[in-house]
Structure 1
C-alpha cells in the first residue's frame, strides 16, 4: 500500500533528521541524503497511485472529503524539499523539524481514514479501521523515537521532552488497544509476541534510562544513536504487523471482486432460465407472500403450506429479489456497526482538538479530560465528545 510505505519512510526520515540536527550535524550525515532518496521514491509511488485511483476521469465518484485530503497531502508534500534544505543547513531546530514531519504524516494518515469512510464493504471497512488505528499507534511510536533522539543527542536536560515522551507512551497503549478490537487473530498474536519480545524490553529500559539521565543531565550523542537504532527496530517490528494488515486488506478486496463476478454470473444464468421458463403460474401474487408481516395474528400454517407449493418462474424471480434484499440488509447492518466505530473516532478526535484549543493542553491531556468527565457524569466517551462538539456548533 503506497500510503503506508510513504508514512514509514517519512517516519525514518524524521528520526534520521533529528539525530543529525540534535548532534549539530556530526551524526548520520551520510545517512540523511540516502533516506531522502528512499522517501522520494515512496512519494513518487504514492502520487502515481493517487492519480490512477482517485484523480482520473473514471474516479469522479470519489467523495469530496477524500479529494480534499488528497489535495492537502499533496500540497504538504510539495513543501518537503524546502524542509530538507533547512535540515541540511541546520537552519531549523529538531523540535520544529519534528513538528513539520508530524504534520505531513498526519495528512497522509488521514487519507487512510477517509478511504475507510468511503468503503461500503463491512469486512474491508473493519480491516481499514484496524489499519488506521495501527498506523496511528505506529506514528506515535515514531514521534517518541524522534523526541528521544533529540533528547539523548542534544546533551542538555529538557523536561518538556521527557513529559511528551511519557504522554506518547500512554497514548500508544490506548490506540493499540483500539487496533486490537478490529484486528484478526493472526495480527493479535504477532502483536502479543512483539510486546513480550526482548526488543520491547530494551525500549522500556531506555525509557527508564532517559528518565534517570534527565535528573543528572548526563546525555551523550552516542546515546541518541543507540536510542534511534533500538526504536527503529521496534518500529520495523510494527511495520511487519502493518504489512500483515495491508496484505489482508488486499486479499479481502480481491476475494470481494471474485465474489462479485460470481454473483453476476449466477444471476445472469438465473435470469436466462427465468426468461426461458414457459410454465409461469400467473396465480402467484407477491402480495400473498407470508414471509413478510401482514394482518396481525392471522393463522399462517395452511397458507404457508400452499405458498411453498407454488414454484413458478415468477416465484424464482421473486426468490432472487428476496435473497438479494436479505444479503443487502445483512451487509448493511455489519457495515453500520463498523462505520459507527469510525464515526465515534472522528467525533472523539474533534472533541480533543476543541479541548486542546480552548484549554491550551496537549492531546493526551485532552483525552484524559474526556475520560475523567465521562466517569464523573456516568456517560460514555462518545456521549461526552458529542456534547462538546454540539456546544461548539451552537455557539
Structure 2
C-alpha cells in the first residue's frame, strides 16, 4: 500500500471551536426560555384575570349594573396589577426578544396584545357609564385574551428543545380549552338567564364544547404527569355530571320551552369552578415547563464544562504527536476520524473530537425528530385557524359557522380536521 503525507490541517481546532459554539448556543437558548417562563406565567395569570372580569362585567351589565359591582371593582384592581406584571416580564426579556432570530411573529402578537390592553381603561369607563353593551364588552375581552394566548403559541414556535416545546404546546391548548370554557360559561349564562336557548345559541354551545374537547385532546398528548393527574381528577369530579346535564338541556330543550331562570347562577358557579380547576392544571404545566428549562440548562452547562475539560486534556496530552493522514491506493482515506487531526492535536485527539461531533450530531437529530410532533400540533392549529378565516371570508359566515362547516367537511370526507384544513388552505393558495 502506497502512502503519502498531506500538509498539516487546521480542521481539528475549528471543529472543537464550533462544537463548543453549538453547546453555548444551546445554553443561550435555554437561558432565553428560562426568562420566557416568567412571561408565559404572567400571560396565563392575566388571561385568567381577564376571563374573570369578563364574566363579572357581563353579569354587571346584564343586571342593569345592579349585581357584581363590588366584585368587578376588585377584579379591575387585581387585573391592573397582573397587566403591570406582564409588562414588566416583557421589559425584562425585551432585549432577548428583539434579537432572537425567529421572534418576528411573536413580537407582532405582543404588539397586538399590548395595543388591546391599552384600550381596556376606555372600555371599563364605558361599562361604568352603561354605554357598552354585553356583546361589545365580550368581544373586546375575547379578542384580547386571544391575542395573549397567541403570544404563548408563538413562543412555542421558537423552541428547539422537544420536551420544552411539548410543554408549551400543552400550555397553549389548556389555555385555549379554558378560554372556550369561559365562552361557554357566558353563552350558557345568557340562555339560562333568559329562560330559553334559541337554535343559534344551542349551536354555539355545541361548538364550544367540541372546541374544548379538541384542545384537551392535544393537551393530554403533551402534558406533564402531574397535570395529567389533575386533569383526570377534574374529569372525575361530580360537578362534571351536573355540567353535562345542563349542557344537554341547553341543546335539546329548544326555544319554545322555558327554563328556570335561577339555573343561570348555578351554571355560572359550576363553570367558574371548572375554570379555576383548569387554571390549576395550567399552573402545573407552567411549573413543569420551568423545572424542565432549569434541568436542561443545568445539563447543558455540565456538558459544556465536560467537553471543555476533555478537549483541554486531549490537546495537552497529544500536543507533541505529529498528525499523519494516511491515504490508501484506491484513494479512500484510511480512517475518516484521522481527517479531524490538526494543528497541536494528535490523531487520537482527532478521533476523540470526531466522536464528540458524532455524538452531538446524533443528539441533535434525535431532538429534531422528537420536536416534530410538537411542531405538527402547532402547525395544525395554525392551519385550522387559516381555514376558518377563509371560510368566513368566502362564505360570509360567522366564526362558529365556519368551524361547524370545517368539521362537517371532515366528517363527510372521513378525514382528520387538520387534513381538510390543509387542503382548503392549499386550494386557496392555488386559486389566489
Normalised TM-score (structure 1): 0.87
State the match for 2:384 in structure 1: 348
| Mapped pair 1:216 → 2:249 | no
Q: Can you list the C-alpha shifts for 1:323-369, whole angstroms capped at 9, x where unaligned?
A: 11111111122123321222122112211221122223344543443
Q: Is the 8 A contact 1:18 1:149 kept in 2?
A: no
State the match for 2:158 in structure 1: 118
How far residue 227 of structure 1 moved from its aligned partner, in angstroms, is: 2.2
State the match for 1:195 in structure 2: 235
Structure 2 residue aligned with 1:25, among 62, 65, 70?
Answer: 65
State the match for 1:228 in structure 2: 268
Structure 2 residue aligned with 1:319, among 355, 363, 376?
Answer: 355
CA distance in 2, matches of 1:146, 1:188: 27
State the match for 2:395 in structure 1: 359
How far residue 255 of structure 1 moved from its aligned partner, in angstroms, is: 0.7
CA distance in 1, matches of 2:187, 2:386: 25
For 1:278-289, list aligned pairs within 5 A: 278=318, 280=321, 282-283=323-324, 287-289=333-335
CA distance in 2, matches of 1:186, 1:200: 20
CA 1:284–1:382 in structure 2 vs 1: closer, same or farther (change >3 Å)?
farther
How far residue 214 of structure 1 moved from its aligned partner, in angstroms, is: 5.0
CA distance in 1, matches of 2:325, 2:372: 35
Normalised TM-score (structure 2): 0.80
State the match for 2:244 in structure 1: 204
CA 1:61–1:388 in structure 2 vs 1: closer, same or farther (change >3 Å)?
same
Q: Can you list the C-alpha shifts for 1:161-201, whole angstroms capped at 9, x where unaligned?
A: 33322221122122211211222343223212211211212
Structure 2 residue aligned with 1:12, among 26, 30, 52?
Answer: 52
| Mapped pair 1:175 → 2:175 | no
Q: Can you list the C-alpha shifts for 1:363-383, whole angstroms capped at 9, x where unaligned?
A: 454344334434544654333
For 1:66-77, list aligned pairs within 5 A: 66-77=106-117
| Mapped pair 1:248 → 2:288 | yes
Q: Is the 8 A contact 2:323 2:347 kept in 1?
A: no
CA distance in 2, matches of 1:140, 1:350: 18
| Mapped pair 1:60 → 2:96 | no
SS at match of 1:136: helix
CA 1:145–1:288 in structure 2 vs 1: closer, same or farther (change >3 Å)?
farther
How far residue 158 of structure 1 moved from its aligned partner, in angstroms, is: 4.8
How far residue 232 of structure 1 moved from its aligned partner, in angstroms, is: 0.7
Structure 2 residue aligned with 1:277, among 296, 299, 317?
Answer: 317
For 1:141-180, list aligned pairs within 5 A: 141-154=181-194, 158-180=198-220
| Mapped pair 1:109 → 2:149 | yes
RMSD: 2.5
Q: Is the 8 A contact 1:280 1:313 kept in 2?
A: no
How far residue 244 of structure 1 moved from its aligned partner, in angstroms, is: 0.8
SS at match of 1:24: coil
How far residue 237 of structure 1 moved from its aligned partner, in angstroms, is: 0.9
| Mapped pair 1:38 → 2:74 | no
Name which structure has the greater RCO, CA cutoff 8 Å, separation 6+: 2
Structure 2: gaps (5+ residues): 1-40, 328-332, 338-345
CA 1:285–1:158 in structure 2 vs 1: closer, same or farther (change >3 Å)?
farther
Q: Can you list the C-alpha shifts for 1:296-343, whole angstroms capped at 9, x where unaligned?
A: xxxxxxxxxxxxxx9812211211111111111111221233212221
Q: Can you list the C-alpha shifts for 1:66-125, whole angstroms capped at 9, x where unaligned?
A: 110100000000001111112222222212211111011000000000000011111111
Q: Can you list the C-alpha shifts for 1:130-167, whole angstroms capped at 9, x where unaligned?
A: 11111111000011112223333356765433332222
How far residue 24 of structure 1 moved from its aligned partner, in angstroms, is: 1.3
CA 1:11–1:173 in structure 2 vs 1: closer, same or farther (change >3 Å)?
same
How many residues were matched structurally? Answer: 375
Q: Is the 8 A contact 2:197 2:250 kept in 1?
A: no
CA distance in 2, matches of 1:344, 1:169: 19
State the match for 1:92 in structure 2: 132
How far residue 390 of structure 1 moved from its aligned partner, in angstroms, is: 2.3
Structure 1 residue aligned with 2:406, among 362, 370, 373?
Answer: 370
Q: Is the 8 A contact 1:15 1:149 kept in 2?
A: no
CA 1:79–1:154 in structure 2 vs 1: closer, same or farther (change >3 Å)?
farther
Q: Is the 8 A contact 2:192 2:259 kept in 1?
A: no
CA distance in 1, matches of 2:156, 2:96: 22
